[in-house]
Every structure is written in C-alpha cells, then in structure tokens.
Amino acid sequence: MGSESVVLLLAVAVALAGIWLGYTWRERATEDDGDTDADGGAGRVGSVIDDAYRSLIDEDGDTDTLGNRRQVRSKLRAAAIEAITEGSDVSHDTATERVDTGAWTDDRRAAAFLGESTPPAPLQARLADWIDGATVERQVWATVEAIAQRSELDVSRGSDESDERVPRTDDARTDSVTVRPDDGDSERGDRWVLTVLGAFALSGIGFLTATPTLVAASVIPLSYAAYGYATRAPEPVLSVKRDLTDGMPAPGETVRVEVAVENVGDRPVPSLVVTDGVPERLRLLAGPTAGCATLEPGESTTVSYTVSALRGDHEFDPVEIRTAGVAAGDTWSVTAAPETPVTCRDPLSAMPANGVTTTVSGRVPTDAGGPGIEFYATREYHAEDPLSQVDFNHWAKTGEPRTIEFRQTRAAKVLVVLDDRDVARKRRHEWSLDAVVLGRFAGSRVAEELLAADNAVGAASMAARTVEQPRRGSAQHERIEALWRRAHEESDEADSTYERTSARFFTNPAFDEDTDDEGEMPAFAFGREYVADGGRVRWLRRRLDADTQVLVVTPLLDDEPVSLARRLAAEGNQVRLLCPDVTAAETPGSAIARLRRRRRQRALRDRGIGVVDWPTDRPLSVAVSRARERWSR
C-alpha cells in the first residue's frame, strides 16, 4: 500500500472520529435538559453529577468515560472552591490554587482527585481500591466528605435509607388472624419414589443373583422411605399478625412492617417458611420479606422489613405459610390475610395546622393606645371611659381618677411567596413529591391558619411573577390556591425558558465550574445578577408595603431565594423562609446539593433572617417548633 493510500485512510479515520465525537458531545450537551418522570417532569436533586457518576463507575456503560470523569471532577472542584472561599475568606483565585496544589485538605484521595499538581494517593490505598474495584467511587466519596469537613457540615453517606427502627405513629395498624388445619392443603411429595424403586431393584437383583448382600442393602433405602412416609407434615394452629408503624404515610415516608407467626397449637412445627405479600407499589428499602423457623408450642417467629410508599391505596397480598415434616417429604400450605391496608395520604392533610404560623408574626403591635391586654400609657379620665380601664389604685392613692390605655394590635399583612421555578422542581427520590408541590402545600397551610386568625394574607409566584394582594376572608384562600394553580400551568414563560436554555448550554464540561447545583447558570454569570438580585426583587418590591411580612417558601436549591430575602430585608420588610428539604446524602450529587443548601441557610441566619428547615419526613409543625426555639434564644 502506497504512502498516499495510508494518508487517505488516516484522513478518513480522523474525519469519522471527529463526527463521532461531535455527535456524542451534542448528546451529552442535551441529555440533561431536564429529568422527567411519570409525575410531570421533576428530576432528582443532584442528577447532573449523579448521572455522570453512575456512568463513570458502570463498567458496562457505553458513555465516554473521560467526559464523565471530567464532568464529575469539575463539579466537585467548583464545590470545593466555593467552600474554601466562604470558610477561609479568601479570593476565588487563592481557593483555586489551594485545590490545584492539594493544600485544601489532608485527605490524599480527595487532593489527588481534584488537584492539578498534587502527588497521588498512597500506594497502599491505591492498591486496595484497585483490588476492590472501587477506585473512582472511593475517590469521589472521599472528595465529597472532605468538602463537607471543610464546610464544617456533616454528610453521612447513605444515611437516608438506613435500617433504623421506624417510630410508631398514631396511624399504626395491626391485625391478626388464626389459621387451622382445615384451612390449608396438604401435598405428599414424591421424593421417596426413586428411593423405593432403587430398593426394589437392589432386592430383585439380589434374589436373581442369589446375593444376600444386595438384598440386605435394599433395607437401607426402604428404611429412609418408610421414615419419610411415616413423618407427615404437621398441620398446626397458627396465629398470624401483621403490624405497620404507619398505615397512612405521606408519599416517600418509611413504614416498618412486622409479620409475626405464633404456634398456638399443641404440636411442634419442625420446619415453617413464611412469606409476606408486599404490594407492588411499596418500595422495599431494607430487610427480608420471608423467613423460616422451627416452632415449639407457644413460640413465634417474626419477619420485619421497611418499605416506602407511593401515593394511593395499597393492599397487602396474603401471607403464605408452608410447613414440612422432619423428613421434608410432605408439605402443608396455607394463606392468611390480615387486614392492614396502606393509604398514602395527601401531604396537605398530613400537615398539622396548629403552630405553623409561627413562621411569621401574625398580629403586630402599633404605636397607638386603646383596649387591649398590654400596658401602653395612662391619661386623664373621661366620663365615657369604661370602668375596666380605670386605674383604681391611682384613684385610691391620689383621689384623682386616671385611665389606663393598652397597646393596640392590628391584623398583620403577610405575603407567601412560592418558589415554583424549574430549578426548584426537584425531588429526593423518584417516588417522592417534588419541592414545589411540598412548598405549595406548606404555604397553603400557613395561609389558611393566618386567615383564620383574621390576618390579611396574599400570595406570589416566583415563576409566573404574579401576585395576589393580601386580603382577609375565607374566599382569599381559594384565590391563593387559584393563583398557584395558574402559575403552575403557565410555568413555561421566559424565566423557565431561560433556565432550560442555560442548562442545555452549560452542560458542556468546559463550563461546569460556572454552573450551579443543577447545571443552571449561577447568579453572577453573564449578567444573571440583574435578574436574580434586581429584576425579581424590584418586581416584588413594587407590590409590597413596608409593613408587609414576607414568607418565602423555597427548597433553597440555588442562590436566587437568598438574594431575594436579603434585598427584601434590606428594604425593611420582615422576611422568613420555609424550606422543604428534598436533598439526601445517598449519592455524590445529592450530597453536594445538601451541603450548598446548608451553606445558604447559614448565610441567611448570619444576616438575621429566620429559616425554618423542614425535613419532609417529619411533620411541618415539628420543624416550626424547633425554629421557634432557636429564634427565642
């Protein structure tokens, strides 16, 4: 083959490689345009990092490994630089230099993974990682934990799905049934048929060949067969109980299930196998759903496991029980069906209303006196003054009547601002509610209770930039709900389009250090500061009175709610935030999102802005009570 042919083949190969790289680059630039699922398009928190991480550690994946490694690494670099900048009060360039040289952490794995000129991890650690086949996984998690330590925050890997004992609730459900011998079916096994045939064959050959040894040997299998036929499977009397820690969980909440089988008869059960019928839409988190045991009369065995539920009604299948004799030749089977339905309630009904309005002040004092309960001032007595306001002590001492005035209060004006932008429409798990839905439920509860106390309540949508001005009356709650419904239906407006476009553009790994938690453009990039710190604040500020209290309901997954709260507080409004927590610590992406969220909370609290952190697996009222205790210190 001539040199010209070789050059031509090389040129064709380079061209094909370029086309392939361009195609895969384009695929990677558009694949994170938004995670969708059956419930309408909300993705998991941290999915941008996690998708690349899963592809990176999946040996069978066909994704470009180098590109995924670069994306994971650049995201973690950005998080580390952010933590160093905030914690050490240094410039961005200084923080970047510390990451490059590995001076930011004592963890050699983390330093080597993010650094540009750092020595590799110790040889012993690298060999252990290589033998276990977990090199990248350990590097990534070591980096996440080092960033958490740098931020003085705790992130425990996999802590959200641990098999800890789930506490019982007021909605716990228990039911038991008793099964008797006539309820089941016996089945005689055929495992001894070949044994009997073998015994007859041995004895027949022994007689034909006049070999006493073979005839005698046939007694052995015949003995086993006779033993098997003589030991029938027991048909006991059993009590079967199923116990649920919560029969009405919110979607995504954990429920512990225990199935106890007790031998209430007078015969032992040498072999018992119990299998519970878990509904298809209950996700098994931990523990076996089947077990085996030997039960003497009065003894019991328990099978326990934890599940997480999706919305809807769920019925357990019957518990299947099978017993066998000592020789395991015969079996007896029966099913028991304790009535323990699971109903995943709407989170709105799951949130106790009592106490949730302590997120805002409610009725506020004025500088005027009049009827009331708090002392304000005294004045000269007027004939029309009520006797309840006369200061009789002063009258008795001086002989001159005086009138006591009490500090008057007036109804508060509260605006509940819902963060319903696309970046907030994230969820902890694929079966969980997203943060916008949870926030809407929480905001609705707060508004309902404030209106019941005769306060003026309004609502706003950050995505649609629409406002329902604060008003009183029972009809106002319906108007607030209608505004948020319309905002959800019209969420594909300019801001959402901007976010989707920026996510598509900035998925390119070259820009990853300038992206936020979910691949969105941060507030400081390309003039976004005007929109985050100016446009949205000015839009809302023009519709607020100076005495209007503001409650921002947001998951705090980016910096814009922080900017909004700071600017409104600087303008003189009392601002507090109610933050449903949809982050987790199960994956690197969600762990980094959790760290950033906690740093935002700390930054707000340092500015004197109250934050209610609501772990959505706990009642809202509990989160509010804890915040109230913290504010009172």
Report residue 139's pLDDT band, with 50, 70 and 90 as the boundaries: confident
Residue 459 is predicted with a pLDDT of: 93
Give the Cα separation of 480 and 447 in Å (integer).
Answer: 8
Give the Cα separation of 283 and 253 in Å (integer).
Answer: 11
Report residue 591's pLDDT band, with 50, 70 and 90 as the boundaries: confident
Q: Torsions phi, psi of 456, nearest 5?
A: -90, 125
Calculate what percentage of the chain has a pLDDT beyond 90. 12
Q: What angle is formed at CA 193 by the lines to CA 189 and CA 196, rounded to 5 degrees? A: 135
Residue 507 is predicted with a pLDDT of: 37
Answer with the residue of higher pLDDT: 243 or 283. Answer: 243
Nearest CA to 545 among 454, 466, 467?
467
Give the Cα separation of 51 and 576 in Å (integer).
Answer: 34
Write the CB contacts of 565 (distance below 8 Å, at least 6 apart in sequence): 550, 552, 575, 577, 604, 609
Nearest CA to 38 among 427, 492, 503?
427
Residue 592 is predicted with a pLDDT of: 87
Report residue 312's pLDDT band, with 50, 70 and 90 as the boundaries: confident
Residue 10 is predicted with a pLDDT of: 46
Answer with the residue of higher pLDDT: 66 or 171. Answer: 171
- CB contact at 8 A, 554 and 424: yes
Residue 134 is predicted with a pLDDT of: 62
Answer with the residue of higher pLDDT: 27 or 90. Answer: 90
Q: Torsions phi, psi of 553, nearest 5?
A: -100, 110
Whether the per-residue pLDDT at 323 is higher than 80: the answer is yes
- Residues 79-117 have pLDDT tens digits of 888 888 877 778 888 888 888 888 888 888 888 888 887
Most confidently modeled range among 73-87, 218-232, 259-273, 519-533: 259-273
Nearest CA to 428 among 605, 250, 563?
250
Question: Which amino acid is residue 335, in one-letter code?
Answer: T
Give the Cα separation of 272 and 624 in Å (integer).
Answer: 49
Residue 348 is predicted with a pLDDT of: 45
What is the average pLDDT across 162-186? Answer: 74
Whether the per-residue pLDDT at 535 is higher than 70: the answer is no
Residue 509 is predicted with a pLDDT of: 34
Residue 229 is predicted with a pLDDT of: 59
Calculate what percentage of the chain has a pLDDT beyond 70. 67
Report residue 501's pLDDT band, with 50, 70 and 90 as the boundaries: very low
Give the residue carrying structure tokens 């357990």.
316
Q: Domain 173-184+235-345 classified CATH 2.60.40.10?
A: yes
Distances in Å between the Cα of 195 and the Cα atoms of 117, 202, 228, 231 are 73, 11, 11, 16
Q: 394, exposed or middle or buried, with CB in 10 Å at 0-12, 13-18, 19+?
A: middle
What is the average pLDDT across 338-342? Answer: 88
Residue 397 is predicted with a pLDDT of: 80
Give the residue carrying structure tokens 């009725």.
363
Q: Where are the domains of the chain?
A: 1-30, 64-152, 173-184+235-345, 187-230, 349-356+412-632, 367-410
Answer with the residue of higher pLDDT: 57 or 626. Answer: 626
Which CATH number does the domain 349-356+412-632 belong to among 3.30.310, 1.10.3470, 3.40.50, 2.60.40?
3.40.50
- CA quadruple 393, 396, 400, 403: dihedral, nearest 10: 20
Nearest CA to 251 among 431, 437, 440?
431
Whether the per-residue pLDDT at 153 is higher than 70: the answer is no
Write the CB contacts of 168 (distance below 8 Å, at least 6 apart in sequence): 245, 246
